[in-house]
Amino acid sequence: MSWIEVETKIPLKQSDLNRIRKKIKEIAKFVKKENKKDDYYTLEYFQYPEKSLRIRDKGSIREVNFKKRNSFSKGVYAKKEVQFQISDIKGFFDLIEDFGFRRWLHKEKTTELYTTKNGVNIELNYVKKLGWFLELEILCPPNHVSSARNKIVAVREELGFKESDCEPRGYTRQLWALKNKG
C-alpha cells in the first residue's frame, strides 16, 4: 500500500523554543528524542535533483526512503512515500552505484517527537546548518489526505502559526541552496 506523508514545517527562532515547547506539551504527549543521519543519492548530482533516495543510518540496518510530491495547499505538502529497510547495505550500495547513483547530500537532525490525541505528529527539529523547525505530520492512506491536511492546519493554528509562517522548501532544498549559495 502506498502511504501519503502530509506535512508542514515552520522555521523557528531559538529564543522561541521554550514557549513553543510549552504549547506543544499542552496538546501533545512526548514520545522520544532521536538523532537522524541521512544520506541522499541521485542520478542528477550536478543540479537539484527531481528524484533521490534517502538512506537513514539506523545502526545494523539502513532505512531507504523515496518521496514524490503530490500537492501543496494551505501551507501543507502531501507526498507519496515509499520506505523499506535494508539489512545487506553493502549489496544495496553496490546495486545503486552500478545504476549510477551517487551521494549528493548529507543531513543531520535531532528530533523531539510528540503526538496529539488525533494522530498529528509534532516534531521540534534541529537541522544541522539550518537551525530549528516545527514540523507537523501525518502518514495516511491516499483517501485521507484532505482530513489529514485539515488536522495539521488546526494544530498549526492552535500553536499560534499561520500559513504564511510555513517554509515551502524541504530540508534538502534548503541545504542544497546553502551549499550552492542560491
Tell me the pLDDT tens digit for each residue of 61-79: 899 999 988 888 999 999 9
Question: Is residue 113 within 8 Å of 123, Cβ to Cβ?
Answer: yes
Q: Find the domain containing 90 and state its range.
A: 3-179
Question: Comparing C-alpha atoms, which of 67, 60, 59, 58 is closest to residue 40?
Answer: 67
Q: pLDDT (tens digit, 9 = 90+) per residue, 30-51? A: 999 999 999 999 998 788 898 8
Residue 59 has pLDDT above 90, yes or no: no
10 Å Cβ neighbour count for 115? 13
Looking at the predicted structure, is the pLDDT value of residue 133 above 80?
Answer: yes
Give the 3-state secondary structure percentages of the chain, helix then strand then coil, rounded to 5.
30, 50, 25
Bridge partner list, 58: 61
The three three-digit cell numbers of residue 96, written as one number: 545503486
Grid coordinates in use for 164? 504564511
pLDDT tens-place string over residues 169-180: 999 999 999 988
CB 79, CB 68: distance < 8 Å: yes
With 60 as the cut, is the pLDDT of residue 182 above it? no
Between CA 104 and CA 99 the distance in angstroms is 15
Cell numbers standing for residue 74: 494551505
What average pLDDT does the segment 141-150 reach? 95
Q: How far is Cα 72 from Cα 145, in angstroms, rounded to an integer?
A: 11
Assigned C-alpha cell, 10: 515552520
What angle is formed at CA 14 by the lines to CA 10 and CA 16, rounded to 5 degrees?
75
Query: Average of pLDDT values for 99-113?
Result: 95
Could you tell me the three cell numbers for 125? 527539529
pTM: 0.92
Tally the domains of the chain.
Answer: 1
Q: How confident is the model at residue 1 (pLDDT cuts 50, 70, 90)?
A: low
The CATH code of the domain that includes 100 is: 2.40.320.10
